Amino acid sequence: MWPCQVHASTKCTVITKIDTTAVALSFAATDKGILPDRMIGRLAGAGAILPSADFVPEQIQPASLDLRLGEIAYRVRASFLPGPRTTVAERIDELKLHEITLGDGAVLETGCVYIVPLMESLALPPDIAASANPKSSTGRLDVFTRVIADGTRGFDRIQAGYHGPLYIEISPKTFPVLVRVGSRLSQIRFRRGNALLDKTALAALHMLERLVDDVDADVGEGVAVGVDLSGFGPNGLVGYRAKRHTGLIDVDRRAGYAVAEFWEPIAAREDESLILDPDEFYILASKEAVQVPPDYAAEMVPFDPLVGEFRVHYAGFFDPGFGYAGAGGRGARAVLEVRSREVPFILEHGQIVGRLVYEKMLARPDKLYGQGIGSNYQAQSLKLSKHFRA
């Protein structure tokens, strides 16, 4: 069993340790898909994932692994990519302004860029690649994160067979945040081959499983997701706008903050529209209730310049079982982290703001999202991050 770890604001739970037996994974030539929890454990046991300390409870999710901050944060002049002939460490040496020891806690200020070596490094097999994304709670705090690997030309993408360290770029946009060694802001998925569902396969899956509750769902290269501006609950809220000049938020503290100290509620308008102010951050929700069947994983496609002058959804991973009735979901709204660009922009109720793409799992996870693994957002409607009191 895992040792029980306690934070001042969390309730202690003990869970069964996921198998990390040192047995090499073997696949048929035609096997393609996202690796589930037990295979992630096996990857670690075989030395393809190299943590500097043992995994902690709930670090392995149904289709991803949470990544932990290491001991030092480097404040750098600007964001960067290393390129194919450079390591991240070399670029840090060129660009760093100062170092911050994270230890038991350090504050990362808004408007600054930090690079932190992660506790997990990789020695991937030649047929396994990976991709990263902010965790849901990270995105809902408007903390912009991206994972970087040596010799890469893109963020959040790790090529098959990569051997080397991982780093995370952190840039708080709205709230200063308190982080420490072991804080988990990002997550990584491992995949073999390309298992993305094409139009035909996605349409067939929707016919079978009803991926969204809209009878007129737009299912093409992905399932279209619209914004709900009709209002939730007795107060008819459509969302929240982040306040500026607030106190800091401890990223490891649950239900520790009053909503009113950090957020301004937004009520529905009669015309069901919302004007996004430039450079403001909003939490909204999808019009559709969505679900991810147990044998699939989903991802919200990042900002599409064709839909407007805003970016939607920093944190794009949806695990198997999200919103799924068999895992206690019965459909769940996709919470949308929205940041407007340089000009005001009017959103209308039902306007498409993104698309969910689906990938096949290599196997069904042992635990689905929402099944006793500390899932915070199952069966959600409009919901702020776990850090705020309901």
Among 58, 120, 169, 299, the active-site one is 169
Taking the chain, what is the end-to-end CA distance rounded to the nearest angstrom?
Answer: 32
Residue 66 has a CB neighbour count (10 Å cut-off) of: 18
Cα(209)–Cα(175) distance, rounded to whole angstroms? 39
Beta strands across the sheet bearing 166-172: 96-101, 72-76, 113-117, 166-172, 143-149
One-letter amino acid at 15 equals: I
Residues 32, 360: contact at Cβ < 8 Å? Answer: yes
**Virtual CA dihedral for 151, 153, 155, 161, nearest 10 degrees?**
-50
Cα(26)–Cα(185) distance, rounded to whole angstroms? 31
Let me know how long the chain is.
Answer: 390
- 169 included as an active-site residue: yes
Q: Which two tokens stand for residue 242?
A: 């982040």
Provide the annotated active-site residues: 169
